[in-house]
Every structure is written in C-alpha cells, then in structure tokens.
A and B are shown apart, each in its own frame.
Chain A
Amino acid sequence: MSAALLIARRELGSYLRTWSGYLVVAGCLALNALMFHAFAMGSGSKRSAEVISDFFYYSSGMTMTAAILLSMRLLAEERQSGTLALLYSSPLRDHEIVLGKYLSGMAFLAIYILSTVYLPLMVIVNGKISVGHLAAGYLGLMLIGSAAMAIGTFGSALTKSQVVAAVTSAVLLVTMLVAWLLAHVTERPLSTIFPAMALHGMHFSPFQKGVIHVRDIVYYGLVTYVALFASTRVLEARRWK
C-alpha cells in the first residue's frame, strides 16, 4: 500500500473513532434537512426538478462547511500533538503526507454527502427526477467539497491551532465564493475573470441543474490541485524554519 493510502487509512480510522467527525456530520445533516424543508421544499408548489436544484444549492453550502470543519484537524493536529515529527522522520515525500490527509478527509466527507441522499429520495417518492440530474448534482457536491477540503488542508498546514486553521480556511473560502462581486466594481477583462474564478456561481450552477461541463470539472480539479500543492510547499518550508 502506498504511503498516502496508509496515512489516509489511519486518519479515516481516527475520524471514525473520535466524536468530532460524527458531530460535524450530524450537525451538517440536521442543518441540511432543515434547509431542505424550509427553503428547497418551500411552502408553495414546485416542480420536482426545481426542488432538487434547490436541494443541491443548499447542500453545496453545507458540504463546504463540513469540509472546512473536517479538514481543520488534518495537519494542525499533527503539529499540535507532535506526531508530524513521526511523518517527517519517515521515508515519505511531503506530497504523500498532504495527499493522504486530503484523501481521508474526502472519504469522510463522501460519507456525509452520501448520507444526504434520503432527501432527494423523498422527492422521488412523490415526484419525478432523472437519475442523471441526481448523479450530476452529487458529482458537483463531491467536486466543490474536494475544493473546499483542499483549501481546508492548506489552512490546516499553516498553523497548529485547529481553530485558527478553520478561520483561515473559512476566510479563504468566502473570498473565493464572493469573487464574483468584484465583477460589479471592475471593468473587462477583470469583470469576466472574477466570476470565472468564483467557487460557486457559474461553476456549480450547471451541476445543480443536472448539467455537467468539463470546464467546471477542470476548474474544481485545478483549485484542489493548487491548494494541495500550496499545502505541500508549506510542509517543505517548515523543514527549513
């Protein structure tokens, strides 16, 4: 088994044995269900496809929240408890440490995302939804979750305090979410670049509606890669400090 997978397996085991991961998932699931009933279902009549689209919209927010909360411990806890020395002194590349941590976080986030499936199933019972729409929406949730998890991993690499890591990651994430607002106060080409950089908006909307664009998959893949690359550089830089 590769070093990254070994680290991921141990970390996932740690998520499953400690209460913090379950608490995050339970809290996010409860909030997700609340928003589903309050906003996605709403009080008026709606078509099933509209309900599902709104479900993915609100779920994306909860997915990003869960990703930041789950990722805050990934590297910060290793530094705080001194176990980073174990990884640093083992024959591993820094990118394997980062990748292993990220994969464990993604595995646990996937458990959370798949746990929300009962909500669209309730819509299927009373309405009509295409499987393609569901698959595209869940792919979108996984991709936006992946980007948020990678940003969270980067925040966690910067500090040994989990709280500071969560706040840093949240600030970075919100900055990327509201990047489209800058389009209103800038001129071309910036007014077209900023919305394209935003984490949600134009890149998540197609998934929400059941449409998959390669450009959106590439975008989320790129954000994930850049954030993980930056995390690796932070780990490398620490050896020189």
Chain B
Amino acid sequence: MIQVEGLTKYYGRHAAIGNLTFSIERGQVVGFLGLNGAGKSTTLKVLGCVLLPTSGRVSIEGCDVVRDPHEIRKRIGYLPEQPPLYEEMTVGEYLTFVAQLRGVGAKETPAHVADAEEKTALRDVHGEVIAGLSHGFRQRVGVAQALVHKPALLVLDEPTAGLDPVQIVEMRSMIQRLRGSHTVLVSSHILSEISQTCDHLLIIQEGEIVARGTEQELERRLGGGSRVEVEVAGPAAKAVAAIRTVPGAGGVDIESEQDGVARLRVELASEQRPALARALVGAGVDLLRMDRAEGRLESIFLKLARETREPSKEAA
C-alpha cells in the first residue's frame, strides 16, 4: 500500500530524514516510533503531501507523491501534531466543510459526517463551537477530519499528545476500532501507546529506520534482552552469586541495599525468569518480588538507542 524508497528530506543543510526505505501493507496498524526530532513528523508530512521530498520515491496505492499528489490526497487522511481546526466553526460545520473540500458530494456529506462522528464519539458535540471544546475533544475532531472522507490510509501524528490518561485510553481504543476499515500509521514517542495500539513497528532514529517488525520479531532479533527487577531479603552479594549461575544472565546492578532488603536489576532473557526464581530460592535467598524493569518495547527501544549511539561515540 505504501512504498517508501530512499526518502530524504533536507531543511536547508540539515537532513531531517535520510534515505528512508520501508513499506506498509493494506489494513495494518503501524506504529512509527522515535525520539523527539528523529524525523517522524517530517516523514508523515511527506506522506500527507504537506511537504515534498528532497529525493527518493514515495508511492501510495501506486500513486507517486510528487507526480500525483492530487490523487494521493484523495486517499489519505492526515492528522498533524497540532489538529488543524477552525475554532469559530461548530464540529458539524467543520466536518461538513472538510468532507466537501475532500470531494465528498453534497448528498453523501451528512452520512460521512455522521459516520466520522460515530467513530470518534463526537455525536454529542455536533453543534458545539470548536473553540469551547476540551483538548481531548479537539483531538478527536482532528481524527474525525482525517477520516471523514473515508480514506484508505490514515496518517496520525502523535494523536495522544497532551491528553490525560483517560483520554489516552479512549484514543487508543478509537484507533483500534479503525483497524480493518483503514490502514493506519500512528507516530508517537510514547512506547506504551505504540505497544498497545499497533501490530507492526517502525523505529526511526536520527532520520533513519533502525528496526522494523512486530514487537515479538524485534525482541527476538535483539536477543530478547529485557531487564528484570528483583527484590530479595538478605545480603545482595548472596543474591548476585545465585543470579550468576543462571544461564543467559547478563549484568547485575545493585540498585539499593538497606534494612535487609536488596534491589537488583538483571539483564536477562524473559524466558529465563523461572530459572532465575529457582536459582535464588535454591540458594536460600528469600525472593520478595520479581518484575520487568521496563516493558518489552521499552527495552527494545533503549537497546536500539544505545546501539545507534555507540558508533557515534566511537567516532568521537
């Protein structure tokens, strides 16, 4: 559905994205993950036909972003980081305007608007002026404008930015509901959001894709490494000695040791956690708690970030 080959975008002399290549299949919900300034928004702006690439080729359903931008714009719905809202309009007026702007006929427009409002739970504020809406509702109006013309591809740039926890959960389930009827590309730097919403990941770092695949694939590819937090009663040294006997256990950091309780962080493949528990108990260490130090995706992301930074350190 989306083919990106060698995409490069320069702002003046600064390369925001360099030689980006990836593809996305129809019907997928893809997470575009990267730190701030990694080049996510620039890539999405090119896909949304807001910016043109410096070089490279981007095609959506066979249409080229430079040669046929008009055709592409009919097939995409784009939500920028800041929702593009005309605040003096009501939600209904705004969605009607956007639908007609994107070529929906006058007769079909009310049905399209009603459908978009239904999908984004905006029915109750149809007649409300946008300026008077909360941030969460405004973000939903932003998503509604992106899907009001029923595009094949939805490009959502940081759709949960600035939302409170309840609104984030609502937005997540809204995006999940879009699965099947649209191909969705969601960017975020919030790992848990991507982890829970998307079935395929693209990780971008300093303008380049450094990893792609499902969360499981990435975990396998990167050695399944995750960090486990362990809390034991007794001396840390005894626990460390027991941990060293576990096959695959990496570095052990003693986080704290006070009042007879030691907290340790262990580099360990996730499937080795039962072995770790057995080793500790077998060595006579009282195991109080064992937990993932960070989510799977977080550990993958941190590992990638460290990997990409290492060469630059060496170069320095």
Chain A interface residues toward B at CB < 8 A:
1, 3, 6-7, 10, 13-14, 17-18, 81-93, 239-241
Knowing A85-B78, A239-B50, say if A91 contacts B70 (CB, 8 Å).
yes
Minimum CB–CB distance for B281 against chain A, Å? 57
Tell me which residues across on chain B come within 8 A of A13, comparing CB atoms: 88-89
Minimum CB–CB distance for B256 against chain A, Å? 46
Residue of A nearest to B94 (CB): A10
Knowing A82-B82, A83-B85, say if A91 contacts B52 (CB, 8 Å).
no
Partner of A18, one of B84, B88, B100: B88
Residue of A nearest to B157 (CB): A85
Q: Find out whether the CB atom of A89 lies under 8 angstroms from the CB atom of B52.
A: no
Knowing A10-B86, A83-B86, say if A92 contacts B101 (CB, 8 Å).
yes
Knowing A89-B78, A90-B98, A90-B102, say if A82 contacts B88 (CB, 8 Å).
no
In the complex, whether B51 has a CB less than 8 A from a CB of chain A is yes
Q: Find out whether the CB atom of B88 lies under 8 angstroms from the CB atom of A89.
A: no
Tell me which residues across on chain B come within 8 A of A82, comparing CB atoms: 80, 82-84
Tell me which residues across on chain A come within 8 A of B84, comparing CB atoms: 81-86
Among A81, A83, A91, chain B packs the most CB atoms within 10 A around the CB of A91
Residue of B nearest to A91 (CB): B73
Minimum CB–CB distance for B23 against chain A, Å? 21
In the complex, whether B48 has a CB less than 8 A from a CB of chain A is yes
| Alpha-carbon separation in the docked complex, A148 to B51 (Å) | 30
Count the B residues whose beta carbon is within 8 Å of the partner chain — how many?
A: 30
Q: Find out whether the CB atom of A89 lies under 8 angstroms from the CB atom of B82.
A: no
Q: Find out whether the CB atom of A17 lies under 8 angstroms from the CB atom of B98.
A: no
Minimum CB–CB distance for A160 against chain B, Å? 13
In the complex, whether B76 has a CB less than 8 A from a CB of chain A is yes
| Alpha-carbon separation in the docked complex, A234 to B259 (Å) | 69
| Alpha-carbon separation in the docked complex, A82 to B78 (Å) | 13
The interface bits of chain B over 146-166 (1 if a CB of A lies within 8 angstroms of the residue's CB, else 0) are 000000000000000000000
Tell me which residues across on chain A come within 8 A of B87, comparing CB atoms: 81
Q: Find out whether the CB atom of B76 lies under 8 angstroms from the CB atom of A89.
A: yes
Residue of B nearest to A236 (CB): B52
- Interface CB pairs A-B, < 8 A, 11: A6-B97, A13-B88, A14-B86, A14-B89, A18-B88, A85-B45, A86-B98, A91-B71, A91-B74, A91-B102, A91-B103
| Alpha-carbon separation in the docked complex, A18 to B87 (Å) | 11
Knowing A83-B86, A239-B51, A239-B52, say if A89 contacts B73 (CB, 8 Å).
yes
Among B78, B98, B101, chain A packs the most CB atoms within 10 A around the CB of B101
| Alpha-carbon separation in the docked complex, A239 to B9 (Å) | 11
Residue of A nearest to B86 (CB): A83
Q: Find out whether the CB atom of A90 lies under 8 angstroms from the CB atom of B73.
A: yes
Tell me which residues across on chain B come within 8 A of A93, comparing CB atoms: 70
Minimum CB–CB distance for A79 against chain B, Å? 11
In the complex, whether B188 has a CB less than 8 A from a CB of chain A is no
Q: Find out whether the CB atom of A86 lies under 8 angstroms from the CB atom of B52.
A: no
| Alpha-carbon separation in the docked complex, A90 to B52 (Å) | 14
Partner of A14, one of B51, B78, B88: B88
Q: Find out whether the CB atom of A241 lies under 8 angstroms from the CB atom of B11.
A: yes
In the complex, whether B226 has a CB less than 8 A from a CB of chain A is no
Residue of B nearest to A7 (CB): B101
Minimum CB–CB distance for A1 against chain B, Å? 7
Minimum CB–CB distance for A100 against chain B, Å? 10
Q: Find out whether the CB atom of A17 lies under 8 angstroms from the CB atom of B88.
A: yes
Residue of B nearest to A86 (CB): B84
In the complex, whether B49 has a CB less than 8 A from a CB of chain A is yes
In the complex, whether B145 has a CB less than 8 A from a CB of chain A is yes
| Alpha-carbon separation in the docked complex, A241 to B106 (Å) | 35
Tell me which residues across on chain B come within 8 A of A90, comparing CB atoms: 73, 98, 101-102
| Alpha-carbon separation in the docked complex, A92 to B11 (Å) | 24
| Alpha-carbon separation in the docked complex, A93 to B69 (Å) | 10
Q: Find out whether the CB atom of A1 lies under 8 angstroms from the CB atom of B100.
A: yes
| Alpha-carbon separation in the docked complex, A166 to B84 (Å) | 23
Tell me which residues across on chain A come within 8 A of B145, comparing CB atoms: 86
Knowing A3-B101, A6-B101, say if A89 contacts B86 (CB, 8 Å).
no
Q: Find out whether the CB atom of A89 lies under 8 angstroms from the CB atom of B100.
A: no
Known: A239-B51, A240-B51. 8 other contacts (CB 8 A): A14-B88, A85-B78, A86-B101, A86-B145, A89-B73, A90-B101, A91-B74, A240-B52
Q: Find out whether the CB atom of A89 lies under 8 angstroms from the CB atom of B101.
A: no
Tell me which residues across on chain B come within 8 A of A87, comparing CB atoms: 101
